[in-house]
């Protein structure tokens, strides 16, 4: 065994056994963050805090929730909402939190796209982030089923039905996923398991990977500037704080983050206490009924854009039915962001406003996503169906065009 000296302090005792001093340096006081960043760089910390809030409120809900088709609805709407002390608060925190975490995820994601933070060695940060987005989507979907209201039931029905479009095995696959011929008790219990255990485990693992992936290429900055982090860190440690381009994660970067976090939490709890209605669909206060379809079925706002891509295709082209086309477009839309680092063929790392073609592309993409989101909520009839189709087609064209747009941009930059 290694030689152990008598420790002079509690800290030294732990340091001898767990290397806490070195650990704190690596994770906090000597983890370097660029100086030239803005408030959009605080979203990572906001997301970590939101995940913790969802985890804690979820643990409290879990104590009273009953995953059974006969008991689920009342365990939420009667027991938790009316009997459990502050049960309503934990439910509203959990529901509003699920909605708000997607808002921050989208801000975080589009910040990455705007500043080109997925390029040149940062590919793994981007990919692990997109894996997190997919896991959070699955977590949101499985959790939405649990209150067992009408919207829970029919969202589960429509989304599991999507797998039926896969050739040959589709029909059997849907029955396998549901554990029954329709959305039933077996479906509820297995999605309950996914929501409270398997997907959260996956999320925690992906968060660790996401943070780890940051350590090598380091955080991007508002100018897309590359510099030697070791050299800048040396300057900082030598006391030249002004001259150095970096600051330590703790206490300097986090101090600024805590301010943004403070503002955000005021906004979040304002929603929780005074404006929670947007996260509580009135239709979901009717108990699930497999024999009564609500007039309009729509997902929560954060899934509307991809739902509209799925729905936009309502007529057959050649041998493919509208449903098949929608399914293909939906698969494309959900996978395409993952390969973003390879679709952008320009080597320049710069914010979009300093990139002539990509800047236009970026805002067109944002505008298209907004149109998709707005029309995803409306019934798909008359002119709405055509707007949906147009926006859905535009989405595909934008991403197919991206390699060409960025190649042209790279050529132009070289010519200068």
Partner 1 sequence: MINESRRGFVGKAFGAVAAVGGVASLLAMKKTWDPLPSVMSAGFTTVDVSGLEANKLEIVVWRGKPIFLLKYSADMKPTDGRSVKIGEDYFSVMIGLCTHLGCIPAYQNEKKDFKCACHGGEFTLAGVNKFGPPPRPLDIPPFKLDGVTLVLGEEGPEYKAMMAKA
Least distance in Å: CB of 231 to partner 1?
Answer: 44
- The C-alpha torsion from 245 through 251 and 257 to 262, rounded to 10°, is -160
Q: Which is nearer to partner 1, 184 or 255 (CB)?
A: 184
Q: Choose which of 251, 262, 356, 379 interacts with partner 1 (CB under 8 A).
A: 379
Q: Which is nearer to partner 1, 382 or 415 (CB)?
A: 382
231 contacts partner 1 (rule: CB under 8 A): no
**Between helices 356-377 and 304-311, what is the axis angle to 10°?**
80
Report, in Å, the least distance between residue 381 CB and partner 1: 6
Please, how many CA atoms are within 13 Å of residue 362, restricted to the half-sphere of its CB? Answer: 20
Closest CB 203 distance from partner 1, rounded Å: 21
Q: Phi, psi at residue 238, to the nearest 5°?
A: -80, 0
Residue closer to partner 1 by CB (options 42, 309) is 309
- Near partner 1 by CB under 8 A, which window of 226-234, 291-299, 345-353, 402-410? 291-299
Q: Which residues of 239-267 are buried (b: 16+ CB within 10 A; e: fewer)?
A: eeeeebbbbbbbebbbebbeebbeebeee
Per CB under 8 A, which of residues 188..217 are in contact with partner 1? 190
149 - beta bridge partners? 287
Among 292, 377, 411, 412, binds partner 1 (CB under 8 A): 292
DSSP state letters, 146-206: TT-BHHHHHHHHHHHHHGGGSTTTHHHHHHHHHTSSSS-HHHHHHHHHIIIIIHHHHHHHH
String marking each residue 294-333 x if it binds partner 1 according to CB under 8 A:
-x-x------------------------------------
**Closer residue to partner 1 in complex, CB, 4/315:** 315
Q: Which is nearer to partner 1, 127 or 174 (CB)?
A: 174
CB 291 → partner 1: shortest distance, Å? 5
Stretches 47-55, 198-206, 207-215, 284-292: which one binds partner 1 (CB under 8 A)?
284-292
Q: Which of 36, 293, 353, 354 binds partner 1 (CB under 8 A)?
A: 293
Whole-number Å distance between alpha carbons of 348 and 346:
6
Residue closest to 388 by CA, chosen among 319, 321, 325, 294: 325
DSSP letter (8 states) at residue 32: E
Q: How far is the CB of 58 from partner 1 (least distance, A)?
A: 24
- The minimum distance between CB 157 and partner 1, in angstroms, equals 8
Nearer to partner 1, 182 or 386 (CB): 182
The whole-angstrom distance between residue 133's C-alpha and the CA centroid of its chain comes to 3
Comparing CB distances to partner 1, the nearer of 48 and 70 is 70
Q: Please, what is the Cα angle at 260 between 360 and 140, to 5 degrees?
A: 70
- Interaction mask 148-187, partner 1, x per CB under 8 A: ---------x-----------------xxxxxxxxxx-x-
Q: According to the binding rule CB under 8 A, does residue 274 interact with partner 1?
A: no
Name the residue nearer to partner 1 (CB basis): 48 or 186: 186
CB of 314 to partner 1, least distance (A): 9
State which of residues 171, 290, 347, 356 lies at the interface with partner 1 (CB under 8 A): 290
381 binds partner 1 (CB under 8 A): yes
Distance CA 321, CA 211 (A): 43
Number of residues that bind partner 1 (CB under 8 A): 21
Asked if 63 contacts 78 with a C-beta cutoff of 8 angstroms, the reply is: no
Alpha carbons 313 and 329: distance in angstroms, whole number: 8
Closer to partner 1 by Cβ: residue 99 or 189 = 189
The torsion angles phi and psi of 248, rounded to 5 degrees, stand at -75, 150
Rounded to 5 degrees, φ, ψ at 173 are -65, -40
Minimum CB distance to partner 1 smaller for 1 or for 295: 295
Instruction: Report, in angstroms and rounded to the nearest whole number, the Rg of the chain calculated over CA atoms.
Output: 24
With H, G, I as helix, E, B as strand and everything else as coil, classify residue 33. strand
Q: Which is nearer to partner 1, 54 or 177 (CB)?
A: 177
Alpha carbons 230 and 36: distance in angstroms, whole number: 17
- Piece of 141-149, 211-219, 285-293, 325-333 that binds partner 1 (CB under 8 A): 285-293
Give me the residues that bind partner 1 (CB under 8 A), please.
157, 175-184, 186, 190, 290-293, 295, 297, 379, 381
């Amino acid at each position: 065994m290694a030689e152990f000296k008598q420790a002079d302090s509690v800290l030294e005792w732990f340091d001898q056994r767990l290397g806490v001093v070195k650990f704190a340096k690596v994770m906090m006081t000597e983890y370097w963050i660029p100086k030239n960043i803005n408030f959009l760089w605080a979203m990572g910390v906001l997301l970590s805090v939101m995940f913790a809030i969802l985890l804690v409120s979820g643990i409290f809900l879990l104590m009273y929730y009953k995953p059974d088709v006969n008991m689920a609805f009342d365990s939420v709407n009667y027991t938790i909402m009316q009997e459990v002390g502050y049960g309503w608060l934990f439910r509203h925190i959990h529901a509003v939190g699920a909605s708000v975490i997607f808002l921050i995820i989208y801000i975080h994601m589009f910040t990455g796209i705007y500043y080109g933070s997925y390029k040149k060695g940062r590919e793994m940060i981007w990919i692990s982030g997109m894996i997190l987005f997919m896991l959070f989507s699955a977590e949101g979907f499985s959790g939405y089923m649990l209150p067992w209201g009408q919207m829970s039931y029919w969202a589960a029905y429509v989304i599991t039905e999507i797998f039926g479009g896969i050739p040959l095995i589709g029909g059997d696959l849907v029955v396998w996923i549901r554990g029954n011929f329709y959305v039933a008790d077996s479906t509820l219990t297995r999605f309950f398991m996914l929501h409270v255990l398997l997907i959260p485990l996956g999320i925690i693992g992906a968060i660790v990977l996401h943070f780890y992936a940051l350590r090598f290429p380091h955080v991007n900055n508002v100018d897309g500037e590359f510099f030697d982090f070791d050299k800048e860190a040396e300057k900082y440690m030598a006391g030249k704080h002004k001259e150095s381009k970096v600051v330590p994660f703790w206490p300097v970067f986090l101090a600024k983050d805590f301010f943004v976090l403070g503002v955000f939490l005021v906004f979040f709890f304002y929603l929780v206490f005074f404006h929670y209605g947007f996260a509580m669909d009135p239709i979901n206060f009717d108990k699930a009924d497999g024999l009564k379809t609500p007039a309009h079925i729509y997902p929560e706002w954060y899934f509307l854009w991809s739902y509209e891509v799925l729905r936009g295709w309502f007529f057959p082209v050649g041998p493919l039915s509208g449903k098949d086309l929608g399914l293909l477009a939906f698969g494309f839309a959900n996978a395409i962001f993952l390969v973003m680092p390879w679709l952008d063929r320009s080597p320049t790392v710069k914010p979009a406003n300093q990139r002539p073609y990509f800047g236009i592309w970026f805002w067109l993409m944002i505008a298209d996503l907004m149109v998709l989101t707005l029309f995803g909520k409306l019934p798909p009839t008359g002119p709405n169906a055509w707007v949906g189709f147009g926006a859905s087609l535009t989405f595909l064209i934008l991403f197919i065009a991206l390699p060409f747009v960025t190649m042209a941009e790279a050529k132009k930059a070289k010519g200068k």
